[in-house]
Amino acid sequence: MKYVTSNRMMTGATVAVLLAALLTGISRSVAGPLSMARQLAGATVAKANRAATAGIVPAVYTVSYDVAGAYRTVQAAVNAVPVNNKRPVIIRIDPGSYPGQVVIPADKADITLQGTGAKNTQLTDDLPVRDAGKNGLPRGFMNTATLCIYGPHTTLDNLTVENSYVQKSNTNGNQALALTIGGDKLVVNHCRILGFQDTIYFSHPDPRAYFSHCLITGAVDFIYGFGTGLFDHCTIRNVNKGHWGSITAPSTPETQTFGFVFRHCRLTGLKSTPAGSVYLGRPWRPYGSTTFIDCYMGKQIRPVGWSNWKNPKLEKTARFAEYHSTGPGASVKSRAKWSKQLTSSQAAKITAARVLGSGNWWKIKP
């Protein structure tokens, strides 16, 4: 039996060798210390283990500027994945900066984008929401993110996704998305998601996403939208340099139990980020839901914590809560009276399974 990797053919024996290398995190094009190799295994190992258990060997594609026969862009590799694919796909991306938008369509599932370290492998673009597209109309939220994910069971592992528009133009107030999440069961492991306004967008209520040990940057409403996201041991860094900002802007439907949940995260800012300038969240829709559990909050967090978006009526419907916040920004006594401080028993019930559903699909094996 033969398998396809990139545009070459492989025997079953070769696949066994490749999987062994994958499971130890050894790249054929990037040599590194064993500690880094183990770190890089991450989500990809979990996916490879699941595939091996099911008797399905993942198809492997390589994106590289240096390797003969490899794809030169990430989008080219995604395009090569068969429509309605039945096999998991691992797209291994060598070190480098890869410009241009990447779209994973809804009819391509179980794709892993595996980098060689968040600082080594970078997907970058600079499309703003308001700029005109080919039809002369503004591009809009759905079509401008550096990485748009509409296929289910996608994994991002050890890479950076960046929208550099604001940094290049040095302007504020123009949305420029790094990541649009429109496919269910996304796992993001040891990644950097970098932007300014509207960094991560959950485009409709169905998507669920799990972020583990990631760095997420932004300044205004930079984690927002309709879906459910669990952020575990992540650094949430506000990069505004002199005006107000908000970390989350949930538009959670009334019938949805959770919107954005942060566990064991660190909320930080730049040295130039003013103290007391950042809200934890404001409700983009009436029943928006955000919860922080066991999180460190820096001085940039406003004592009041939460914004009603200049609409007192939203205080009766928005679902904003905290448990055991620490740090200079954890001003429990000064928090908005309409927000909630959870008890230990209430916080203990907010488990990954309750937030993300059954199936353990989010679990990342060491």
Q: Is 337 helix (H, G, I), strand (E, B) or coil?
A: coil
Clarify whether 157 is annotated catalytic: no
Q: What end-to-end distance do the CA atoms of the chain give, in Å?
A: 30
CA distance 145 to 166: 13
Give the helix ranges, DSSP H, for the chain: 12-23, 34-53, 74-80, 165-169, 344-348, 352-356
CA atoms within 13 A on the CB side of 37: 15
- Which of the residues 110, 198, 206, 294 is marked catalytic? 198
- Which of the residues 66, 221, 232, 294 is marked catalytic? 221
CB distance 257 to 227 below 8 Å: no
Which one-letter amino acid corresponds to residue 300? Q
* Token output for 269: 């800012």
Return the exposure string of 219-248: e unless at least 16 CB atoms fall within 10 Å of the residue's CB, then b: bbbbbbbbbbbbbbebbbbbbbeeeebbbb
Distances (CA, A) of 78 to 60, 75, 148, 189: 11, 5, 12, 19
* Residue recorded with tokens 């993110």: 145
* Residue recorded with tokens 């860094």: 237
CB distance 19 to 44 below 8 Å: no
Nearest to 41 by CA among 175, 155, 176, 200: 155
CA distance 257 to 311: 22
Number of H helices, E strands in the chain: 6, 28
Nearest to 348 by CA among 324, 313, 319: 324
Clarify whether 198 is annotated catalytic: yes
Burial of 304 (0-12, 13-18, 19+ CB in 10 A): middle
CB distance 242 to 271 below 8 Å: no
E strand or H helix at 229: strand 228-232
* Token output for 77: 């590799």
Active site residues: 198, 221
